[in-house]
Amino acid sequence: MRLYNTLSGHTEEFTARDGEALMYVCGITPYSDSHLGHAMSYVIFDTLRRYLEYRGLKVKHVQNYTDIDDKLIARAGREGVPMDEVAERYIREFERDTAALNILPAHIYPRATQEIPAIIEMIEGLIEKGYAYPSQPRDGSSDVYYRVEKKADYGKLSKRSLDSMLSGARIEPLEGKENPMDFTLWKGAKPGEPSWDSPWGPGRPGWHIECSAMSLRHLGKQIDLHGGGLDLVFPHHENEIAQTEAYTGEAPFSRFWVHNGFLQMGEEKMSKSLGNLITMREAIDRFGPDGVRIFILGSSYRKPLTYSEEAMAAAKVAAERLRVAVTCEDGGTGDPVDGAPYKERFIAAMEDDLNTSAAIAVLFDLAREINRARDAGRAVGEAQSTMRELAGVLGLRLEAADESLAAAPFVDLLIELRKELREAKQYALADRIRTGLAELGIVLEDGAGGTSWKSA
């Protein structure tokens, strides 16, 4: 397929070197509810993966959890609980919501806190090669910085030179840096924050090094595709490239860099800091998983996507239209509808830089023909299975509304009540909730980070 590569600035033929595409997608920082902007990114990369697999390519997909971070530390502090408890809670939510959205799970979900030795090893290697240096120690620990001037092609992904970055940047105090653009690989410990022992004293990894180290450890020196939101191009992905290529001595770190556009609320980006969020859960509850996917895939993945209630509602209705066409009873035995030309058009659209909006348009054309043909007494069974197959490539289930999904907020409420009952040592009542839910087909699972549930 042809895919736009941010690194080259061109649309290129995507191939995997060894029949298996190695794909790394930057994951979430689990410090609060995931929102529709996250859904957008993960639905897009899920659809890309599904399509590559549909075309017979094996894909190995790694996606990290940044489970050590300033925002996580702050949240844990406010709640008075350990950081890993907060991370565990939002990782569970993310897994629940992405499963509801029919997003295939990554093959490996490395967590920063579980990869510290690999991260330290990489930083040590960068220091040895002259690409990194520790700052003056204070209170027995140092920061470690990456030396951007040493990497001659620093800026090649975001297409900027070091000079232009410097002139555009706010002049910040160097704080032990040789160059204001040098970025942090390791942060010396601050009192009260989680830290790990290292050759530079206690501290914790910076954000960028985490992805380089995990990608190297789980996928090797060079990968085929690295994905994430457009906001990650600089500095995050630029810095990943700098770190990995300096450490391994091989370039490019990733052959393809694929970025999705922002989700916007009106003129603004949907983000936690702006407080204009629609959570994944809310979107799924209101518009259904297929509705959310159709909304996201209904426009170009590289362009900004603007949220509106009307567009979401229209996507929900559209999903229902497809569902009716794919599940309707066969019209008869006469002159069967041929799905093959639709399949060809669908594939041609997807080959063209993942043109999902054109692919969805093909599904609607096919739905229309199925509806007309059925009314005319023609056989539509085969066309329906083609349609189901193609919808599956877009991750659409086209099933009747899931009752258990609508019940989700009530189940969550009961779980909360059960927790409070247990804390009050009202074990009989707490167990009554568990057994009552079990009778309704809802199974509770208690874990270190809280209770999760699934419908049996």
State in angstroms the smallest separation of the CB of 236 from Zn ion: 6
Q: Smallest gap, in angstroms, from Cβ of residue 87 to Zn ion?
A: 16
What is the CB neighbour count within 10 angstroms for residue 223?
24
Q: Which region among 129-137, 206-214, 270-278, 362-370 touches Zn ion (by CB under 5 A)?
A: 206-214
Phi, psi of 425, deg, nearest 5:
60, 25
CB-side exposure of 189: number of CA atoms within 13 Å? 16
Task: Tell me which residue of 296, 261, 297 sits closest to 278, measured CA to CA.
Answer: 296
Q: Which stretch binds Zn ion (CB under 5 A): 26-34, 186-194, 321-329, 365-373?
A: 26-34
CA distance 231 to 33: 19
Question: Is omega for the bond preceding 252 within 30 degrees of 0, making it cis?
Answer: yes
The site for Zn ion, by CB under 5 A, has a size of: 2
Least distance in angstroms from the C-beta of 226 to Zn ion: 8
233 versus 444: smaller Cβ distance to Zn ion: 233
Closest CB to Zn ion among residues 96, 236: 236
211 binds Zn ion (CB under 5 A): yes
Contacts to Zn ion from residues 371-410, by CB under 5 A: none
153 CB-near residues (< 8 Å, 6+ apart): none
Among 26, 28, 100, 396, binds Zn ion (CB under 5 A): 26
Closest distance between Zn ion and the C-beta of residue 300, in Å?
A: 23
Least distance in Å: CB of 34 to Zn ion?
16
User: In 145-299, which ranges are continuous DSSP H helix?
Assistant: 162-168, 207-219, 238-248, 280-297
Which tokens is 70 given? 């300033």
- Listed in sequence order, the residues at least 6 apart from 64 whose beta carbon sits closer than 8 Å to its beta carbon are 26, 27, 109, 110, 111, 112, 210, 211, 214
Q: Which CB, 233 or 405, lies closer to Zn ion?
A: 233
Burial of residue 373, with CB atoms counted within 10 A of its CB: 0-12 exposed, 13-18 middle, 19 or more buried: buried
- The CB-of-211 to Zn ion minimum distance in angstroms stands at 3
Stretch that binds Zn ion, among 126-134, 210-218, 315-323, 355-363 (CB under 5 A): 210-218
Query: Strands 263-265 and 268-269: what pairing?
Result: antiparallel
Shortest distance, position 102 Cβ to Zn ion, whole Å: 24
**45-59 b/e (C-beta count within 10 Å ≥ 16 → b):** bbbbbbbbeeeebeb
Q: Which is nearer to Zn ion, 26 or 148 (CB)?
A: 26
Verify binding: residue 157, Zn ion, rule CB under 5 A: no
Q: Which is nearer to Zn ion, 63 or 384 (CB)?
A: 63
* Burial zone of 27 (CB within 10 Å; 0-12 exposed, 13-18 middle, 19+ buried): buried
Which CB, 26 or 241, lies closer to Zn ion? 26
Q: How far is the CB of 26 from Zn ion (least distance, A)?
A: 3
Stretch that binds Zn ion, among 24-32, 271-279, 335-343, 430-438 (CB under 5 A): 24-32
The interface region with Zn ion, picked from 20-28, 93-101, 338-346, 362-370 by CB under 5 A, is 20-28
Q: Which residues bind Zn ion (CB under 5 A)?
A: 26, 211
